Amino acid sequence: MKIVIAPDSFKESLGAAQVARAIEKGLRRVLREAQITRVPMADGGEGTVEAVTAATGGRRVRRVVAGPLGQPVRAMFGLLPDGSAIIEMAAASGLPLVAPAQRNPLKTTSFGTGQLIRAALALGAKRIVIGIGGSATNDGGAGMAQALGAVFRDSRGRVLKQGLAGGDLGAIASIELEGLVSTLGSAEMLVACDVRNPLCGPQGASAVFGPQKGASPAQVRVLDQHLRHFGQLLERATGQRIVKRPGAGAAGGLGAALMGFCQGRLMPGAVLVTELVGLAAHLRGADLVITGEGRIDFQTAFGKAPAGVATLARSMNVPVIAVGGGLSDDAHLAFRHGFDALEAAVARPMELADAMRDARVNLERAGERIGHWLLLGQRLSHRQS
């Protein structure tokens, strides 16, 4: 029996690689002769660098860059054997890097994300894969572009300060891209993004995501005006129609900057990660794939890592089991979207803190239970034949 274990991380508990190892340990208590392959997964958000480097044999690189408020932060990205780099925008410009009392998208910048991209290019990366979930910023990607060499000037021709934030965009009068183009060279840019919002307006970056980043209603209006102004300048500088393009509003407008300045191509995060880790090759000839995440609910079937696994597995006629730390009341709806069976790591009522503390043991036991179910299936099959 060939089994592929391809879970996402269990947030704030175990990384995807740890989850896969725990499930395998439980399975092997029952299925000692099974051929088991671990392929850690992610959806383009937190844990993507760890999962992809683990699955591909890549290496992790750490750099000190500017955080959302300009403070130094130690961030990590991955270099893969095929010459690609994998970056999480949140590692440099993420909301968790800003204390709740200091969250203000008028003041946060994506400059550190640009520094990570520049560092990867300096190490020879020919393709940049960047996940842009979890941002603290609403700067339209202007900070990122500055770090890559773009120059922004005000109406008097003065070069604006490094680390532009959402509140600074209204001062921009012109954009010069020669330095950015030179830095990027011929590198390809792929963007893991599941957000379809445009840059501006009622469904734009500021209105939809600004409040969770600390913006008041008045600040949302200012930010939206600034992004509209910046978007018009971006379109003029690049000759592209960007402002209304789906995904332009992702990560506070970073989606617009990556598409416009960097010729980035937006892709669903889970789909992109399945391609990066070569999941299809691992699934060839497999009898079963086990995926999972911290909580299995109806939303698991849409855009998350287990959904990417299930979609690909279904196309290859491989059955799918999803393991969650817990199963919600609507988890059964996932059966309509490619999942053949569900299993909870937590087998009895317990506090969340206890479940997270004992996640490894709980997952081992879930793996063991799955093993016994598989043995039962074999026995029933033999009886029928």
- Residue range 2-41+280-384 forms a domain whose CATH class is alpha beta
Question: What integer pLDDT is reported at residue 183 of this predicted model?
Answer: 97
For residue range 239-248, list pLDDT tens digits in order.
999 999 999 9
Instruction: Reply yes or no on whether the pLDDT at 385 is more than 80.
Output: no
Confidence band (pLDDT; 50, 70, 90) for 123? very high
Instruction: Reply yes or no on whether the pLDDT at 303 is more than 80.
Output: no
Question: What integer pLDDT is reported at residue 232 of this predicted model?
Answer: 97
Closest Cα to residue 284, out of 37, 77, 28, 11?
Answer: 37
Question: What integer pLDDT is reported at residue 202 of this predicted model?
Answer: 97
For residue range 254-276, list pLDDT tens digits in order.
999 999 999 999 999 999 999 99
Question: What integer pLDDT is reported at residue 350 of this predicted model?
Answer: 79
- The count of other CB atoms within 10 Å of the CB of residue 186 is 6
With pLDDT > 90 as the criterion, what percentage of the chain qualifies?
A: 82
For residue range 151-177, list pLDDT tens digits in order.
999 999 999 999 999 999 999 999 999
Query: Are 116 and 65 spatial neighbours (Cβ–Cβ below 8 Å)?
Result: yes
With pLDDT > 70 as the criterion, what percentage of the chain qualifies?
A: 100
Instruction: Reply yes or no on whether the pLDDT at 298 is more than 90.
Output: no
Question: What integer pLDDT is reported at residue 19 of this predicted model?
Answer: 95
More reliable by pLDDT, 302 or 44: 44
Question: What integer pLDDT is reported at residue 326 of this predicted model?
Answer: 86
Confidence band (pLDDT; 50, 70, 90) for 205? very high
- The count of other CB atoms within 10 Å of the CB of residue 324 is 25
Closest Cα to residue 325, out of 299, 372, 359, 368?
Answer: 359
Q: What are the residue ranges spanned by the domains of the chain?
A: 2-41+280-384, 48-269
CATH superfamily of domain region 48-269: Glycerate kinase, domain 2 (3.90.1510.10)
3-state helix, strand, coil in the chain (%, to 5): 45, 20, 35
**Spatial distance between the Cα atoms of 40 and 22, rounded to a whole number of angstroms:** 12
Question: What integer pLDDT is reported at residue 265 of this predicted model?
Answer: 96
Question: What integer pLDDT is reported at residue 384 of this predicted model?
Answer: 80
The whole-chain average pLDDT of the chain stands at: 94
